[in-house]
Structure 1
Amino acid sequence: MDDCGSHRRRASHTRTALADSLSISRQLPRPTTYPGTSPCKTSYVLAQQSAVYSTPVTAMGLSPRKSSLGDMVKAVKQAETLHSTSFSEPLYYHLVTLHLFTLNDLKSILIPETICGILSALSGPLLTTNSSPALFAIIARLPHVVLWNHLNLLIFDLANQRLITSLLEDSFNKPWRPLPSRRLSLVQARRLLLSLIPIVVAATYFLGAVEETVLMLVLTWMYNDLHGADEHYLVRNIINAAGFMCYSSGSTRVAAGGQNTYNLNSVMLYQWTPLVGAVVLSTLQMQDMSDQEGDAQGDRGTLPLIWGDGVARCQSLFRSSPGR
């Protein structure tokens, strides 16, 4: 695996090429403006063929002023396939690539949600329909809970990191991720996501909590493809809070034995899970503190960027203080 210095050099090269592509985009005729689009979005299309894969438009034999839309689309598709990973790479290489997609979320989602699921299942009748939980039976479900969380996390991270805006941010914040470090191409990431979605839905049906998985697929679509993450920070926080609620209830359902044995009771559904969502909703801005450089490049409206660090920290402290 490449060292950190190599990742940063590649990310720096990506940012330099991005600037070149945006310069080329200014030479193009002004595009028709459609509802919900902006010149910035158009620039990202050019970035896809130039910045992401360091392949300028002119190097493909295209003139920015004279090329037709069809030529430009072909150029984008050609550029998307550059730096593709060969299937001849050893299995370890591909496993590391999958691991790098989810690495940054292990400590914030997979580990705490797995612990939450196991402990909630052990609470027995307090949060589940199991009146007498067996310690070893629930601990034996630990691999199932980890797998359920990791599969859902992988789907979300793939859907998020394959976006041009995310790639731009990652080149600043996390250059070691698979796409900015060129471990695979955008087209390969999209095809991997396309293949994994039905596999994950089928797997979670047998693991239990397929309902939460389907709901998280909808939230993932809203967050990434509908650019919910780029809207007002409150919209982003609401989607994230709903996602964490799904992780908490799904982890508990799997740990309790899946949908064929025990299930969640009304306390878990209507009190504990919403409490988890409320905590996430009111404190999510803290994780944006370290990502401000990349968020600014992606024009993302996070609370620290809009109101500043001081307001974001004070708001988190105020909302989490006793009595609130």
Structure 2
Amino acid sequence: MLSTIWNFLVTLQLFNQSDMKTIVLPVTVFAEALASYHSVSRFFLVVFWVWMHLLYFTVTNQTFGTSPEEDAVNKPNRPIPAQRITVDSAVTLGWLLAPIDLALSLYTGGVPAGIAICVLTSIYCRGGGHSHWLSKNGCCAGFYALFEYGATQIADSSDTLNQNQLGAILGSALIIFTTIHAQDFRDDEGDALLGRRTFTLSFPIFSRITMPILLAAWSIALYLFSEANRALMLAFVVLGAVTGVRFLTLKSAKDDRLSYLYYNVSNILHSLPL
């Protein structure tokens, strides 16, 4: 019995595994940085709320359309291609998660963002939001904004956010919208086989040129307009520049995976100046 429960929990975590460093960690840091009120209990509520809503998205995304076949090429360790759960069982899990997440949002106070995440998940998976790089980038920026909005509300135990908090979330969404194609370089080979129209495949040279330019520009802008510690901000600018140059000059799948790790560290740190 305990072994069955443990295997089920591991399967749930594997749905979220690749997005722990891209969603759960940066959104939690972002929310705690923006919150004017802090407590241990609210912190764990933030983590659990983000993780559960992310789970609804990942389960839905990994069961829709040709996702199982794509994951077999790009991410074979995910639960479905690893044969830890069947597609039908995962679809049922996704339908069960929707009311569970709504109840969780009612309890924690993140209802608007929670409902919007469910709607945007449907747009992304069933409405074709994933099929073109422009709509995909827009959806990704929307997801980050909604996760950050809901997490900040929960962390702050507040029904409304102030102007500075909303401005920070908007700034974060713009950064994500213009740079999130960083995640596509590592999957180019598999995406090309599947005929996907990612930004990096549609504009293979230009997409790499944009990385050092955009990461450096955003880093410098945050340096100039932030009141954060200048030494910390200078390190942030250097990290952005190094990451951008890596994407431009180092082009193997292994290098792109490491560059994307640097990008995620940079993404976590951008919450501090914002």
TM-score normalised to structure 1 length: 0.64
Match of 2:189 in 1: 293
Unaligned runs of 5+ in 2: 222-274
Residue 93 of structure 1 corresponds to 7
Counterpart of 1:169 (choices 57, 64, 70) is: 70
Q: Deviations over 1:199-250 (max 9, x none)?
A: 111111111111001111111011111121112x111101110110011111
Partners of 1:140 and 1:200 in 2: how far apart?
A: 18
Pairwise CA distance, 1:110: 0.2
Q: Answer yes or no: is 1:216 the counterpart of 2:117.
A: yes
Which of 30, 43, 53 is residue 152 of structure 1 equivalent to? 53
Q: Which moved more, 1:161-170 or 1:93-102?
A: 161-170
Note the C-alpha offset of 1:317: 2.2
On the 8 A contact 1:167/1:180 being kept in 2, the answer is: yes
What residue is the counterpart of 2:161 in the other structure? 264
Contact 1:138-1:257 within 8 A present in 2 as well: no
Q: Which residue of 2 aligns with 1:113?
A: 27
Q: Does 1:237 align with 2:137?
A: yes
The alpha carbon displacement at 1:90 in A equals: 1.1
Question: Following TM superposition, by how much is the alpha carbon of 1:278 offset from its aligned partner in structure 2, in angstroms?
Answer: 0.4
Deviation at 1:171, TM superposition (A): 0.7
* 1:242 aligned partner, one-letter code: G
CA distance in 2, matches of 1:210, 1:254: 10
C-alpha RMSD of the superposition: 1.8
Residue 168 of structure 1 contacts residue 297 of structure 1 at CA under 8 Å; is this kept in 2? no
How far apart, in 2, do the equivalents of 1:202 and 1:252 lie? Answer: 18
Q: Which runs of 5+ in 1 are unaligned?
A: 1-86, 125-132
Q: Which runs of 4+ in 1 moved over 4 A?
A: none
More helix by proportion, 1 or 2?
Answer: 2
8 Å contact kept, 1:173–1:291? yes
What's the offset of the Cα at 1:88?
Answer: 9.8
What is residue 243 of structure 2 aligned with on the other side?
none
Aligned residue identity for 2:196: R
Aligned AA for 2:103? A
In structure 2, C-alpha distance between the alignment counterparts of 1:205 and 1:161, rounded to whole Å = 26
Q: Does 1:313 align with 2:208?
A: yes
Give the TM-score taking structure 2 as reference length.
0.76
- Counterpart code for 1:253: Q
Alignment partners' CA distance in 1, 2:43 and 2:176: 24
Among the aligned pairs, what percent are the same residue? 30
- Could you say which residue in structure 2 is the equivalent of 1:282? 178
Q: In 2, distance between residues paired with 1:251 and 1:183?
A: 30
Alignment partners' CA distance in 2, 1:268 and 1:114: 14
Corresponding residue for residue 302 of structure 1: 198
Partner of 1:197: 98
Tell me which of 168, 180, 191 is aligned to 2:81.
180
Structure 2 residue identity aligned to 1:202: A
Partners of 1:207 and 1:258 within 8 A in 2:
no
Specify the code of the residue in structure 2 equivalent to 1:315: T
Please give the alpha-carbon distance, in whole angstroms, between the structure 1 residues aligned to 2:96 and 2:83: 20
Deviation at 1:299, TM superposition (A): 2.2
